[in-house]
Chains A and B, each alone.
Chain A
Amino acid sequence: MPNTPEKPLILVIDDEEALRDGCRQVLEKCGYEVITAEQGIEGIKLARERMPDMVFVDLKMPHMSGMEIIEIMSRDLPDIVLVMITGFASIVSAVEAIQKGAYDYLPKPFNPDQLRALTKRGLDHRNLKIETKRLREEKDRMEKNFITFVSHEMRSPLVVIRQYIEALNEIAGKSFDKDVKEIIERCRKRVQSLEEMVEHWLDISRIENGTLAQQKVSLSLASIISRSVEEMTPLCRKKGISLETNISKKLPQITGDAESLVRVFTNIIGNATKYTPEGGKITITVKNDEYYTTASIADTGMGIPLDKLPLIFEPFFRCRGKDEKIIGSGLGLTFCKKIMESHNGGIEVSSKEGKGTTFVLTFPVSDNAAKGNTGHTSKSI
């Protein structure tokens, strides 16, 4: 921000010499530095070189219209406060200019007081904007540092404790009696679930500040599901729950990050196994229409009470709270929801207590996803 500590720099772009001179006189008297340009191209060039704090642009000019100038500048030089000078109070152009990124408009004829007041307000606005941006950057930086801190300083002790437990079992496991073994195993499980909680929390924070590594490519949902099913089959078998897939043959490609999508499915299938008693069934069905591919994961488990349904995607929320006998952090579904959002997709749930729960994931098909994405840059790295 080269101009802030010194005199604010103001650029006036107008083809009328009288107006340029008039503005210059008024604004210089207020202690601002003023530069002027006669037409668009020259004005934009000058703005790029000198980075003024504020620019006044006349709407009606030969060659390049004020509207075009506003459009280019608000895109290329977003920190500059832009004001459109409109000929005869044309409210339509004023509104258009503001939509295109102008801060305000100034209808001709205007008097020195009006010019002064608007300039002061514009500059205040700019300072506020810069300050907000600085604070936001500071906050992002702190968050990132905190994430790095947590991922190193909290994770390593947990990893080490588990490694010690491994060592303990290895060097003396044979001589432990049943109770000792049980205590050690319980410790191991608790540490592991704490580690998973840290892991989940880190992932969610990374999605939030855009540092979760995601590689969005065109991929087939069927392969994602078969990877997840493969991963979860041993657990289902162990728990005596059957796992069935029903995938339509001709699925269109979707755009996504394979690793995180596999985790979305393993999380949801994992929940289904956790909250479904022995003998239950999990059914995965994938269908598609022209625009969406829909995957539903239905279980025959304990279900979720109606009043708890809206809350299950909230961080740390668990339906049975502290009474929950099954281990978990309540972050699994938060992760799934964030990942689905980052894929322009959706996640919904329906459930009947005692009967079962169905999660429905919707993905826009690739072509569509690309369209939906225009103008919005993906934050993935």
Chain B
Amino acid sequence: MTIKKKILLIDDDKDFLFATKLILEKGGYEVFMAEDGKTGVEVWKSIAPDLAIIDMMMETWGEGFSVLNKIRATDTGKETPLFMLSAVDLQGPYNSFEPPPEFPKVNKVLHKPIKADDLLRMIAQELSGK
């Protein structure tokens, strides 16, 4: 039996975590969840996941980014693929949102809700490409 790849989900919406977890588990991943940034960073350190998905707008604008910074600053977090989630207007003027260049590397920016197929495909791509 192969060891399952670990994915960490950080989002302050319990239901969103749960729904996404179901999809990821169905895709064969082991899923860890954190409901706030601080816990997220702690879980990150203790389990060293293969990939993390971080919501951009937890509680306050920018909390997602600070989590991203902290994760990128850890030893295991330098190269690990990180996805950012945003719930901003699907077709709104923000849909072209890209993190500014000075931000730590984000492998993908995804809009909520995420199609199950797309999510699993992008994760598989990211994890096999390494």
Chain A, residue nearest B117 (CB) = A170
- Chain A residues near B121: list those with CB within 8 A: none
**Within the complex, what minimum Cβ distance (angstroms) separates B106 from chain A?**
20
Q: CA–CA, A195 to B87, complex, Å?
A: 12
A160 engages B116 (CB within 8 Å): no
- Chain B residues near A202: list those with CB within 8 A: 89
Question: Restricting to A142-157, which residues have a CB under 8 Å from any CB of B?
Answer: 155-156
Q: Is A166 an interface residue (CB 8 A)?
A: yes
Q: CA–CA, A266 to B95, complex, Å?
A: 14
B91 engages A167 (CB within 8 Å): no
In the complex, the number of residue pairs spanning A and B with C-beta atoms less than 8 Å apart equals 66
Q: CA–CA, A170 to B114, complex, Å?
A: 12
Q: CA–CA, A122 to B115, complex, Å?
A: 63
- Chain B residues near A167: list those with CB within 8 A: 19-20, 22-23, 26, 116
B95 engages A259 (CB within 8 Å): yes
A199 engages B92 (CB within 8 Å): yes
Q: CA–CA, A169 to B15, complex, Å?
A: 16
Given known A166-B116, A167-B20, A171-B26, contact A160–B15 (CB-CB < 8 A):
yes
A170 engages B13 (CB within 8 Å): no
Q: Is A123 an interface residue (CB 8 A)?
A: no
Chain B, residue nearest A170 (CB) = B116
Q: Among A164, A257, A266, which residue has its beta carbon within 8 angstroms of that of B93?
A: A257
- Chain A residues near B94: list those with CB within 8 A: 213
B20 engages A163 (CB within 8 Å): yes
Q: CA–CA, A171 to B19, complex, Å?
A: 10
Q: How large is the interface on A (under 10, 10 to 19, 20 to 34, 35 or more residues)?
A: 20 to 34
- Chain B residues near A260: list those with CB within 8 A: 93
Q: Is A162 an interface residue (CB 8 A)?
A: yes
Q: How would you classify the secondary structure of chain A's contact residues: helix, strand, loop or mixed?
A: helix
Q: Among B13, B23, B90, B96, which residue has its beta carbon within 8 angstroms of that of A166?
A: B23
Chain A, residue nearest B27 (CB) = A170
A156 engages B22 (CB within 8 Å): no
Q: CA–CA, A7 to B94, complex, Å?
A: 51
Q: Is B16 an interface residue (CB 8 A)?
A: yes
- Chain B residues near A195: list those with CB within 8 A: 90
Question: Restricting to A194-208, which residues have a CB under 8 Å from any CB of B?
Answer: 195-196, 199, 202-203
Q: Is B112 an interface residue (CB 8 A)?
A: yes
Question: Restricting to B42-63, which residues have a CB under 8 Å from any CB of A?
Answer: none
- Chain A residues near B91: list those with CB within 8 A: 199, 263, 266
Given known A213-B94, A259-B96, contact A170–B89 (CB-CB < 8 A):
no
Q: Could you jot down 28 A-B contacts, CB within 8 Å? A: A155-B87, A156-B13, A156-B16, A156-B87, A159-B16, A160-B19, A163-B19, A163-B20, A163-B112, A163-B114, A164-B15, A167-B20, A167-B22, A170-B22, A170-B23, A170-B26, A171-B23, A199-B89, A199-B90, A199-B91, A212-B93, A213-B93, A259-B92, A259-B95, A260-B93, A263-B91, A263-B93, A266-B91
Instruction: Give A residues with C-beta under 8 Å from B.
Output: 155-156, 159-160, 162-164, 166-167, 169-171, 195-196, 199, 202-203, 212-214, 257, 259-260, 263, 266
Knowing that A163-B15, A167-B23 are A-B contacts, what are 16 other residue pairs whose CB atoms are under 8 Å apart, sorted by A's residue number? A155-B87, A159-B87, A159-B112, A160-B16, A163-B20, A166-B116, A167-B20, A167-B26, A170-B23, A170-B27, A170-B116, A171-B23, A203-B89, A213-B93, A259-B92, A266-B91
